[in-house]
Amino acid sequence: MENVSLLQKRQIQFVVFLPVFNVLASILTPFFAGSFNPGVFRGIVLTLFFVWFLIAKFKLNRFNRLYFIYMLYVLVLCFLSDDILTSLYIYNKFFICTMMFFVGITYINTNLKFLHLLRSFMVGLILLIVYLGISNVFNIGTQTYKDESVYFGETGVNITKSLTIFLIILPLYIRLETNRIFRLIAIYLIFIGATFVLLGMKRSSILALLSGFFFYFLLTPYKGRIVSVIPIVLGLLVLASPYIFPIIEKRFSARQQRVSMTYNQLRESETEGRVVELQLTLQESFSGNFSKLFIGYNVFLKKDYLGHQRMLHVDYTNMLGGAGILGLFLFIIGYLNSLFNIRKLYLKLKSIVLMREFFAVSASLIAIQAFLSIGGTLQGVTLRGYILLLLGAITRIMYVKYITLKSEVKSA
């Protein structure tokens, strides 16, 4: 059994608890009035812990170097902003998410710890589904797309974005879980969670989930097991179809009326203006001076578009407009570097079937991030953080396995 100090155990327990901590803060915050609420409490706790971690535990290595450079680069840009305090306030959320990779790769270094982390994600998923269930029983929440057939609580339909991340790791959880009952529960959670994602009619969530499962199915060595689960899912779908399909049809109709398809409609819509946001950001970046193109300006601040101040919703335009081509490059290359490192480790561990499963889930997580970034993840403390925590943990698990095998070969 691994010998660790009591302080080290508490740190590991805290990191493992992060998914549940984040979910609780997210679903409880809307019910608290005033400036101090669970979300603020979460921000204070995580900021203090991560600052302490940087001072006491952080070590730079080839796996985390790009994320660290990216984090420092954006911090410098905050001090060049016209509103430094606002940029730093949003940067703190960006900082919290980025640090998730560092703690994941530091603390989750065994299969057992990783299983505990996945169990924490499963508990978080159960909390989200229970919350959605209560919301629909008691009609709690605001209207989405002017339709009251399904409620998504006070957090709104954006909660489906978190569901996509929690769902994509369940196949890996099922593979590692030793408790048969927990595995069976996870199978049902996949169906229930995917149903809520579909009912949410959030395009970025649906595309993220579909792309995630596509890459997972493409790369997993356990395709046969997935196929064996399909009859269960189809059976549940048939049983639930009289209740689900009419709701889907109604919500699709309501969603279709809200989707803006023309340029003029997009100009007038604050919620559907992402296409115009991209167009105007490209125009502004490439028609300005070199510094505006290369390092951007006013990172994380609202920009003056079409006569009004607009927050940049899309991660790609957020980085291009606020941090320039360099910021956009660092944002994308960080994920690609993680995938490259995980693939490199996988190629050295191809004889271990589970390592291919880790690679499949990693590719799926990055595919999900690519689509969730269309809706925006940089100015929150959950979505991007969940993904980076998992990528950090997977990287460390595979690296430890590689080092162990390498030492065994040398001693043989």
Apex 60 CA angle, 57 and 65, nearest 5: 135
The contacts of residue 230 (CB under 8 Å, 6+ apart) are none
Residue 219 backbone dihedrals phi, psi, to 5 degrees: -105, -20
Element (H, E) at 310: strand 308-310
Residue with the two structure tokens 């989930």: 209
Residue 372, pLDDT > 80, answer yes
pLDDT at 111: 93
Average pLDDT, the chain: 86
Q: Which of 139-153, 163-177, 324-338, 352-366 has the lowest mean pLDDT?
A: 139-153
Please name the residue that has the structure tokens 């790769």: 105
Contacts for 224-227: CB closer than 8 Å, 24+ residues apart: 226/171
CB atoms within 10 A of CB 110: 15
Distance separating alpha carbons of residues 275 and 273, to the nearest angstrom? 6
- Please list the alpha-helical segments (H only) found in 290-382: 290-295, 315-348, 353-375
Using one digit for the tens of pLDDT, what is the confidence trace for 119-151? 999 999 999 999 988 888 777 766 555 555 666
| Cβ atoms of 64 and 353 closer than 8 Å | no
pLDDT of 384 higher than 60 = yes
Average pLDDT estimate for 351-367: 94
The one-letter code for the residue type at 9 is K
pLDDT, position 262: 43
What is the sign, positive or negative, of the torsion defined by CA atoms of 322, 84, 270, 309? negative
Task: Please tell me the predicted confidence (pLDDT) of residue 271.
Answer: 47
**Domain residue ranges of the chain, discontinuous segments joined by +:** 10-411
Contact residues for 175 (Cβ-Cβ < 8 A; gap 6+): 222, 354, 357
